[in-house]
Structure 1
Amino acid sequence: MSVRIGRSLIGPGQPVYVIGEIGLNHNGDVEIAKRLIDVAAESGAQAVKFQKRTPEIATPEHMRDVERETPWGTMTYLEYRRRVEFGEAEYLEIASYAMRAGLDWFASPWDVPSVEFLERLDVVAHKVASASLTDLALLDALAATGKPIILSTGMSTIEEIDRAVDRLGTDRLVLMHATSSYPMPAEEANLRMVETLQRRFPGVPIGYSGHERGLQISLAAVALGAVAVERHITLDRAMWGSDQAASLEPQGFEHLVRDIRIIGDAMGDGVKRVFPGEEAPRAKLRRVLA
């Protein structure tokens, strides 16, 4: 089964749906967000994704007053969350820019008011962050939108994933295998979970959301059958922010998308045949004909 998000179908037999996860790597700057949208578009991705929070709701109580050193000076964690959050005017500008670049855009809402905020902007889909997989009130609000939902499964047990899928339904669902280590070491990738999720949820498109350094693990996920890939992108991994180190810089993201497309072309249909390029070597080298 395929799920349509914006301009693309996601599922077996379709081009891998590549999402450039901008998240908070824009550091509250719309111009940086636009440059990252350009990176995704020029690399050949189909979508960009952001994160949307209501800071007063989504910031854990015990973290609110913790002081943090930031590029804008020392501030509490709650003040920092407010500083990097885009409002409606910024998102309207981002939405228009992404649309002109030929990209879908959507976000991970971290609370119910953020779902309502994104719905007012008419996003094409919603993404559930791994951290929100057990937030049943949020899942109910997302299911009620009727929009396609991409669900990341990091930091979750299989029972928690089952419960979330039951809550969301499978009609417009894409599941993403993920491990929520930043950056993720290779020994925690557990890529065979792509196949496990395929067996457990037949008909649901299964993708991969990666937080590793480099390209190899994401490419291996595609070879195992992942039909969508999400990776954080940044202008420079040395920029300030907690996700920058697990992000791909522009050239790395371009190479990832290029290699995903090559793998897609190379997978074929599993039917053995003699290809046109084999005809001349066959005629020249095969001594005994069948």
Structure 2
Amino acid sequence: MTSPQKPPSILRLKDREIGPDRPVFIIAEAGVNHNGDLQMARRLVDAAIDAGADAVKFQAFKAEDVVSVGAAKAEYQVATSGGGESQLDMVRKLELSGAAFRELQAYCTERGILFLATPFDFGSADLLAEMNVPLFKISSGEVTNLPFLEYVARKGKPLIVSTGMCFLGEVDEAVRLLQGADCEDLVLLHCTSNYPTRPEDVNLRAMQTLGAAFGFPVGYSDHTIGIAVAQAAVALGACVIEKHFTLDRTLPGPDHQASLEPDELTAMVRGIRVVEAALGDPIKRRVASEDAVARVARRSLVASRDLPAGTVLTRDLIAIKRPGSGLKPELLSHLVGRKLRVAVAYDQLFELGFLE
């Protein structure tokens, strides 16, 4: 097993950093939810921007280079798009050209959002490298495709790698190969490759296992319904969150039903920003906003009755009441047995200057 020799690294892009103690990098996964329509893809870019995502990601492939003629559809694909066509026929209809990707990249640059795409074949990796994408996102299905992993790693770009369907040993083999190809800018995403994923199949703590085992930043690629699990992943230390989205869940196609609609994507992004703001640091301390409440809610030592000067204080003469702006209760034993040099009224806060 690969052993981390240093704290998790920071993946550095041109305009931002991804890693611990950095803002969560949120990838709006458009995937193939454009249904092969470039204009719909542009609308997905708009929706990702409106939601506040950091990047919008598509899937780049040449259908014949990825899927063989006899390949069957996955069960979820049959459920969402019917069983009357092969996987190859389905995928052909979801393909975008290189020219379309270049146009989308230009549109993303114009609109101020990062364009990303997952390559599924050697030619698509070449295309994205020519487009000078800032990083490569590798899908879960390619973790055991070691020749392809090495080919992409040799492009010299940072990698974000999903690990759905993987045993830890398979991830280890992939990481060793990537490091052997001089890839040290790496983020590992925990993932469950089912669409949708049941919460009981998420095993979110395995994300932390990835970080402990390999010493790279970790994140989560979410296929559950809703946004709660993605937000929980942030609370557990995810540096990257990836989530499928669509313009309309009722559209035809394999991935729409397990995707967020635009208003849900917006809610997820906002929720993640709330969670990361709430995480703070490991130091347990009182924050400044609690000071005023502490003065009201905490307690002080006060006189339990009117006390004349010269009174020797006994325990029954000292009460512990709000507010918290006087002597702290921990000083109780310091007062017992001491003589008052001034009179103290009922419920008056004691002061050290009252004592002889």
TM-score band, normalised by shorter chain: over 0.9
Shift of the alpha carbon at 1:62?
Answer: 1.3
Paired residues for 1:1-290 under 5 Å: 1-63=9-71, 77-169=87-179, 171-202=184-215, 204-288=216-300, 289=328
Contact 2:70 2:86 (C-alpha < 8 Å) held by counterparts: no
Instruction: Compare 178-187 and 32-41 and name the one that shifted more.
Output: 32-41
- Residue type of the alignment partner of 2:39: E
**Can you list the C-alpha shifts for 1:206-251, whole angstroms capped at 9, x where unaligned?**
0000111011111111100011100001001111111111110001
Shift of the alpha carbon at 1:64?
Answer: 8.2
Counterparts of 1:186 and 1:76, CA distance in 2: 30
Higher strand share: 1
* Superposition CA RMSD, Å: 2.0
Q: Could you say what secondary structure the match of 2:252 adopts? A: coil
- Residue type of the alignment partner of 1:11: G
Q: Could you say what secondary structure the match of 1:138 adopts? A: helix
Q: Could you say what secondary structure the match of 2:70 adopts? A: helix
- Residue type of the alignment partner of 1:147: K
Residue correspondences, number: 285
Shift of the alpha carbon at 1:46?
Answer: 0.6
- Residue type of the alignment partner of 1:177: H
**Can you list the C-alpha shifts for 1:127-168, whole angstroms capped at 9, x where unaligned?**
110011111111011110110101000011111110111111
Contact 1:232 1:247 (C-alpha < 8 Å) held by counterparts: yes
- Residue type of the alignment partner of 2:233: A
Say if 1:6 and 1:249 are closer, same or farther in 2 by CA, change over 3 A.
farther
Shift of the alpha carbon at 1:76?
Answer: 5.4
Shift of the alpha carbon at 1:14?
Answer: 0.5
Contact 1:112 1:137 (C-alpha < 8 Å) held by counterparts: no
Contact 2:144 2:174 (C-alpha < 8 Å) held by counterparts: yes
Shift of the alpha carbon at 1:75?
Answer: 6.2
Contact 1:184 1:213 (C-alpha < 8 Å) held by counterparts: yes
Shift of the alpha carbon at 1:63?
Answer: 2.6
CA radius of gyration, larger in: 2
Shift of the alpha carbon at 1:120?
Answer: 1.5
Contact 1:8 1:17 (C-alpha < 8 Å) held by counterparts: no
Shift of the alpha carbon at 1:6?
Answer: 4.4
- Which of structures 1 and 2 has the larger relative contact order (alpha carbons within 8 angstroms, sep 6+)? 1
TM-score, with normalisation over the residues of structure 1?
0.93
Shift of the alpha carbon at 1:177?
Answer: 0.2
Shift of the alpha carbon at 1:194?
Answer: 1.3
**Can you list the C-alpha shifts for 1:171-220, whole angstroms capped at 9, x where unaligned?**
11010000001000011000001111111012x11000011101111111
Give the gaps of 5 or more residues in structure 2. Answer: 1-8, 301-327, 331-356
Counterparts of 1:184 and 1:79, CA distance in 2: 25
Moved over 3 A (4+): 74-80
Identity %: 40
Counterparts of 2:288 and 2:87, CA distance in 1: 62
